[in-house]
A = this chain, B = another copy of it.
Amino acid sequence: MPTDVIFRSATEPDLPAIVALLADDTIGAGREGDVTAQRGTYLAAFREVSADPRNHLVVAEIAGEVAGTLQLTYIPGISRMGTERAQIEAVRVSAAHRGRGLGHEMIAWAVGQARERGCGLVQLTSDKRRSDAIRFYESLGFERSHEGLKLSL
């Protein structure tokens, strides 16, 4: 297990590293653009996320480098007696740090944040092709109870 991980809010200088993590992925690769050429687009999105108190874009830093990223969204709602839920999106661990427990530490940290805030539920979806990721979430106590449906516009 990595013992020297720092979790912190992402800042603008982290943006190229975050986009690189999103792109360095068999499923996500084709979906990202060049962060320099598309800087304005990515920066606008970054600022939208950062400005929103219910969204938290996080980096996991090891030895001064961005080793992982995830986004937390706190969704208020009426159902389950007004339970606020925490949603985890865009989880990525850099290739150099895979297989060493960083993903586990990141999700445990995110669940801890949700618990501290008083959320009653943590939820995420994982592409069905990511069978390792799905088993990993199940090993952390997540239940594969729902179908995740997406519609591209």
Contacts and interface: CB of A to CB of B under 8 A. Distances in A.
Interface residues of A, number: 65
Interface stretch (A1-9, A46-54, A96-104): A46-54
A71 B122 CA distance: 18
Contacts of A44: 82
A134 B149 contact: yes
Given A147-B144, A153-B122, A15 B78 contact: yes
B150 A126 contact: no
Interface string A41-65: 1101110110010110100000000
> What is the oligomeric copy number?
2
Interface in A20-74: 22, 28, 31-33, 38, 41-42, 44-46, 48-49, 52, 54-55, 57, 71, 73
B55 A75 contact: yes
Top 7 nearest A-B pairs (CB, nearest first) are A146-B148, A45-B82, A48-B76, A142-B149, A125-B146, A148-B148, A122-B151
